[in-house]
Amino acid sequence: MSITPVIMSGGAGSRLWPLSREARPKPFIELPDGTTLISRTYARAANLDRVERIVTVTNRELLFLTADAYADARAPQRGNTYLLEPFGRDTAAAVALATLHVHAVEGPGGILLVLPSDHLILDEAAFAQAAGEAAAMAEEGRIATFGIVPERPEPGYGYIEAKDGNVLRFVEKPDAKKAADYVSSGRFYWNSGMFCFAAGTMIKAMQEHCPEVLAGARAAYEAARTFHSDNRTVFEIDRESFAATPSISFDYAVMEKAQNVGCIALDCGWSDIGSWAAVADLTAPDENGNRSRGETVLEGTQNCFVHSEDRLVGLVGVTDLLVVDTPDALLVAHKAKAQEVKHLFNRLKEQGHEAAKLHRTAHRPWGTYTVLEEGDRFKIKRIEVKPGARLSLQAHHHRSEHWVVVSGTAKIVNGEQEILLATNQSTYIPCGFRHRLENPGILPLVLIEVQSGDYLGEDDIVRFDDVYGRA
């Protein structure tokens, strides 16, 4: 029987703001080696034995970003199935969707290996061996969880108490003293959030412990809209049915109640990269304990982490600071308060601040756009369109646009006209005109867009036709 890895990708990675945001969250942050957490997760899954295809449960808005990350993964490309949630309903509903899908395709004996998309594992050989042991356990009708052998007392993680390969109990994040007691006892492991089980076993467990979650997920899955393209199958989960599904974590709904749970001890250099302190650890320190990425000048500074994307950052006479500089937001925090960055992110989100959702450079299925400047009644963007890609046929109610080609060739629908523009040529699109931008060439198309109008929000868009299914 084959193993089907299920990559779970959701959440905003609020502790890693301003690099992690809702539209490009933590799994897509670039690591020091140029990879991302989600591409490494895909590679880790694709390189396992007995894997023919990979299922991903994610948000509709992250589909094309995820597909691009998988294409860049340093691994063989498997058949990909995406289960697209209209919104998050926590991990129990996501696991239920994946289980129902594998059950429908492979029957009750189909083996699922559930993997969060945002974890880092350095020893992939150890992980592969543990995955094989977990699959054997799943074939015996048990639910396997992976307990990480703790490197230190860590109050930021949940724990699993296990004996002779059997889970005795799950415990919430402890205080520092309890964490130390857990580690010294030798019976406790960090709860990794990775699981392995047969589809039939999990359906039975959910029917017993969280039948409302299973029923809601089943209704949403059966009513899903399905389409196929480019070596992928996509299920758009039904919004109305999914909204009625209870929102609860998989641990609470199933794992803490089930009796047939086994624990695979795993020592593999694991981290959930849950804070900027964890990100800092990925970079080697200098003689003063400082770690930095980008152009920095540090004077009389010790034990600091600096991330600078496109300008020089200087620190003088400070210690134990986290400094993360992006084009539109700057974070300065004490290392001891790294976990509290999430509170800052939540405040921005409550205020509806754009910095909680978008970066200055936003990624789209067709390419990217970068906001260069904006002010009263105007916004200037740099737009880059991939070769062969095209934007939707669209119109705006509140703004007009002027496009100037910087490099490449642009094929443009502007009202009733269809025109080709080369470098240094331009066109004006009045408010309300239907328009479309396409790159017919083999090189990237770059242009400057100048918007003007009463309202310049990204939600002022009406799509009439879209090759990416967003119309």
CB 270 within 8 A of CB 190: yes
Please report the pLDDT score of residue 10 as a whole number: 82
Residues 306, 431, single domain; the answer is no
Please report the pLDDT score of residue 130 as a whole number: 97
- Does a structural domain hold residue 279? no
Residues 429, 321, single domain; the answer is no
Mean pLDDT within 367-389:
96
Instruction: Round to whole Å and give the CA distance between 428 and 227.
Output: 36
Q: What is the CATH number of the domain that holds 402?
A: 2.60.120.10
pLDDT exceeds 70 at position 71: yes
Mean pLDDT within 116-121:
96
132-166 confidence digits (pLDDT tens): 999 999 999 999 999 999 999 988 899 999 999 99
Provide the pLDDT confidence category of residue 225 given band limits of 50, 70 and 90.
very high
In single-letter form, the type of residue at position 103 comes to H
Instruction: Round to whole Å and give the CA distance between 363 and 182.
Output: 43
Instruction: Round to whole Å and give the CA distance between 430 and 403.
Output: 11
Give the residue from 246, 271, 296 where a domain finishes: 271
276-331 confidence digits (pLDDT tens): 999 999 999 999 999 999 999 999 999 999 999 989 999 999 999 999 999 999 99
Provide the pLDDT confidence category of residue 462 given band limits of 50, 70 and 90.
very high
Please report the pLDDT score of residue 471 as a whole number: 61
Q: Is the pTM of this model over 0.85?
A: yes
pLDDT exceeds 70 at position 220: yes
Q: What is the CATH number of the domain that holds 241?
A: 3.90.550.10
Average pLDDT, the chain: 95
Please report the pLDDT score of residue 13 as a whole number: 85
Please report the pLDDT score of residue 11 as a whole number: 78
Mean pLDDT within 187-208:
97
Residue 150, number of CB atoms within 10 A of its CB: 18
Residues 259, 294, single domain; the answer is no
Residue 70, number of CB atoms within 10 A of its CB: 22
Mean pLDDT within 73-86:
91
pLDDT exceeds 90 at position 76: no
- Does a structural domain hold residue 54? yes
Domain ranges, residue 245? 3-271
Please report the pLDDT score of residue 156 as a whole number: 86
Residues 371, 437, single domain; the answer is yes
